[in-house]
Chain A
């Protein structure tokens, strides 16, 4: 069954080879050329193309490896001067490289799905059909699937209690793409609590300080330092330049299209206030921000105070703190701590997404993918995922703007939603109940308000693609639909963030007794994390 599903998903990806691709395609082609032609001390200095190398060293090594294969397809592809080069062979090679590296993701998903006793095929299906990943990787062009595959490998090792391996894979991941730094606090807290403290306390409140194992800490530290040394070692002489490339604070608070996070509200409020001020004749600094290009410069707010990177970091860290403290306590419970870890990972990604500096809309995948893994592990998580699978994936739609792709986007999403909305309820509801009620839409028991909100998305989609053009507003207000989409989705993500936070903080897995009367409650979950005991 798994093989067939893999073939179907891969075949769907292959359809997209000749279709629209974004500038990221050229970005990666340039990196192939840079890594292939230059010596490593020039990698982070080269500025022939405006798309300079801004991923950590391991990804650059990966590009180098790929470039040797690329040469066999088309040698002109790896010439640095060939800007915007896209011959048929180049497209084929680049697309195939994504499709083939995606098998790492599928393997990772398979490894993680194995721990689940009920619904393991379902979670595998949900993971591999993720429409966001397909849209971003195979149409827009990026290598996220591969990176999430490494994340899953790390998570799988964690669930098996192979904490050193988990740390190893996560360090690898950090050196492939540094955006995963946002997940690092969760790893740090969890590994400290679950690995460095060898004794677990029963009540989950008190920390058994006496059981702190220095050996374990050294093992972890050595692993991580080894990986980082391997990665940054060759660049030791040019670290400032590398870091300048990796963390470009020159870019604005928000991306060209506002990611649906807290700053979307902030920018929106700023726009509104600006208009109000103009209306009432209060002078404001008006500055047109370019909303189209990929390289957005710093953007000044007109009325509200301008946000600095430091503010966003403080906000992110503060918002993560309660969750991390909770994880420290939940980490004491040997049976369910892997579950708590996965939840906290999702939550902290959401915090980072909400408040981070220059967050891409694509970063929502960092919420959706761990959350979709959780969806088979608890009824509440399933509800959150049913909600977020609509909002989150819809918020990715503006990424693929050509009108031609609309049909594909809609049906990719609908196919996935069908799996989520139809199979998840079957997993949680006993069969007898199912036949009596209409299982579709009802059983995940989204509240009326949530359903209303989701229906609003249909209206939004209709407005954006049909009504807006018929009203003739696409000439005068071309960015209005984008703004509405991002603010509307931000509302949903914000709602999810608050309610998931509340759910996580109040979850009392460590003390909850295994109740017998409610059959499909959260404690039905069996992550066999304590297999090694």
Chain B
């Protein structure tokens, strides 16, 4: 009997996987030992208190009242403003907290509750959620990446172990989730799973379901909705020869529609009894009143605000309209390209472009939303390691004012240097003659990545730009730490940082859109697993 090829049997490189994975987890633990946002800062505290308050509300009030202002639920104090799945997650954690330490979720009495055991509990919930949702999703994607890459193209950045660890060590999400305290890892993990089902398994239904779940965990996932929509829609049009094309189209489309509607109704059913409820929840999720941006965000509106005070010129309604229009204009090239010249490789790029366009132009953007752009970039990193690294560092830097406010400077520096060192180790593993400064050289990095090569001048230009961009980051960082801004401009450095980052993001939007347009059209077919 000849050897059958067993599709489930595959070998992945795991030389640095286990220690690297544990290092990534260790870094998370270390960051989690630092104070969370708003610790000991009454009356409103911070995101930690918001999460704790949601547990308190979801445990003690009936599901219908979660999004309503009732006697037991004061929406003015950290009212629930994330979609239902988030609320269920809070309920689940709240029940556990209620069992372990009932004082921590007592209705009203527990506001501003801070105790060491409770903090440890909350930190563990983030850690376990991260492990369950995010780490596994990253592993799936990275294993797949190595499996489908042919041996000649297999660069060090596409090895499972290296790509996983680089992905998991990305400082931004570690600092926000484990330091600042949020549960971004859940929605981003679900989103990565959806991406995995599209780029690897081609199971559109599962992809839809997971994406809807992600959307129902955080409405910010809307940043990623357009690529999913256009990609799945285009796939409905792919005809199979021996079937009637129209019937096939309708059949495929209906399947997806059922998946979307089914998931939505399953998630919303316990909360909704009338249209009024839906409108109330939607009103909570999209508060137009809150203005175009809150703190200093590195997007176009915040930068434009320096020169023209937008609030005085436009009212909120007009602002929303402008935001929608400009966002659509900015993401259309990418979306239309994905639709008309479909290619699986374009999908991740399209995710980056669209979310970046949303970040730059849309309404009510938070500086943490850059994570929604950064996570697709971490999966794109093996294809374009140099620019992606640059982007990821810059995205972390753009959150500097927030992290400084939380007292996370030390973790920021350590996590970033660990990230850069590991990246440099990856370059070493490629077998090229490298030293620690090779990270700065576009030429070496692209050679190690074995992907594309620009001509020599462009490489030099890239390296120089990256070098000066790093210098700028260091100078601005030092400035905001050491220099006291003049009294009439107290927000000088946060503003400079956001404008500096904004300029970069516009450049990245153009660059990644260019990358996407460069790729040829290629209908998605089942990928072959390389033979080992």
- Say whether A1 contacts B428, CB under 8 Å: yes
- Say yes or no: A418-B18 contact (C-beta < 8 A), given A4-B436, A7-B418, A16-B30: yes
In Å, the complex CA distance between A210 and B425 comes to 55
Chain A nearest CB, measured from B146 CB (Å) = 16
Is B428 a contact partner of A411 (Cβ separation < 8 A)? no
A243 to B210, CA, bound (A): 71
**A233 in contact (CB, < 8 A):** no
Query: A418-B19, A418-B22 are contacts. A7–B421 as well, Cβ < 8 Å?
Result: yes
Hey, what's the 0/1 contact readout for A5-49 against B, CB within 8 Å counting as 1? Answer: 101100110111111000000000000000000000000000000
Contact across chains for A403 and B18 when beta carbons are under 8 A apart: no
Chain A residues within an 8 Å CB radius of B421 = 4-5, 7-8, 11
Q: How far is the CA of A14 from the CA of B409 in the complex (A)?
A: 11
- Encode A418-435 as 1/0 by CB contact (under 8 A) with B: 110011000000000001
A-B contact count (CB 8 A): 87
Is B29 an interface position by the 8 A CB rule?
A: yes
Q: Which residues from B are CB-within-8-Å of A1?
A: 425, 428
- Complex Cα–Cα for A422 and B18 (A): 8
CA distance A405 to B11 in the complex (A): 37
Within 8 A of B (CB), among A396-429: 403-408, 411-412, 414-415, 418-419, 422-423
**Which of A7, A404, A418 touches B120 (beta carbons < 8 Å)?**
A404
Contact among B19, B116, B420, B424 with A422 in the assembled complex (CB-CB below 8 Å): B19
What's the interface size class on B, roughly?
A: 35 or more
- Knowing A3-B436, A15-B33, A419-B19, the reply to whether A404 touches B414 (Cβ < 8 A) is no
Interface presence of B411 (CB below 8 A): yes
> Contact between A18 and B410 (Cβ–Cβ < 8 Å)?
yes
Residues of A within 8 A of B315 (CB): none
In the complex, the chain B residue whose C-beta lies closest to that of A423 is B19
The proximity string for B residues 17-45 relative to A, scoring 1 for CB distances below 8 Å and 0 otherwise, is 01100110111011111100000000000
Closest to A405 in B: B33
In the complex, what distance in Å separates the CA atom of A120 from the CA atom of B6?
A: 39
CA distance A291 to B204 in the complex (A): 62
Question: Which residues of chain A are near B413, meaning CB under 8 Å?
Answer: 11, 14
Enumerate chain A residues within 8 angstroms of B411, measured Cβ to Cβ.
15
Residues of B within 8 A of A411 (CB): 22, 25-26, 29
Whether B30 contacts A415 by the Cβ 8 Å rule is no
The chain B residue sitting closest to A406, CB to CB, is B120
Chain B 108-122 near chain A by CB (<8 Å), digits 1 or 0: 000000001101100
A1 CA / B18 CA spacing, docked (Å): 18
Contact call B30/A15, Cβ cutoff below 8 A:
yes
Q: Is B224 in the interface zone, CB < 8 Å from A?
A: no
Q: Are A8 and B422 in contact (CB under 8 A)?
A: yes
Is the Cβ of B29 less than 8 Å from the Cβ of A407?
A: yes
**Least distance between B70 CB and chain A CB atoms (Å):** 36
* B417 interface neighbour in A7, A408, A414, A435, Cβ under 8 Å: A7
Q: Of residues 456 to 512 in B, which have CB atoms within 8 Å of A's CB atoms?
A: none
Which residues of chain A have C-beta atoms less than 8 A from B19's C-beta?
Answer: 415, 418-419, 422-423
Instruction: For the A-B complex with A15-B30, A435-B11 known, give 14 more contacts whose Cβ atoms are closer than 8 Å.
Output: A3-B435, A4-B428, A4-B436, A8-B418, A11-B414, A14-B413, A14-B414, A15-B33, A18-B34, A18-B410, A403-B117, A411-B25, A418-B22, A422-B18
Which residue numbers of B lie inside 8 Å of A, CB to CB? 11, 18-19, 22-23, 25-27, 29-34, 116-117, 119-120, 123-124, 127, 410-411, 413-415, 417-418, 420-422, 424-425, 428, 435-436
Could you pull out 29 A-B pairs where Cβ atoms are within 8 angstroms?
A3-B436, A4-B436, A5-B421, A7-B420, A8-B417, A11-B413, A11-B414, A11-B417, A11-B421, A12-B27, A12-B418, A14-B410, A14-B413, A15-B30, A15-B410, A17-B410, A404-B33, A406-B120, A407-B123, A407-B124, A408-B26, A411-B25, A414-B26, A415-B19, A415-B23, A415-B26, A419-B19, A422-B18, A440-B18
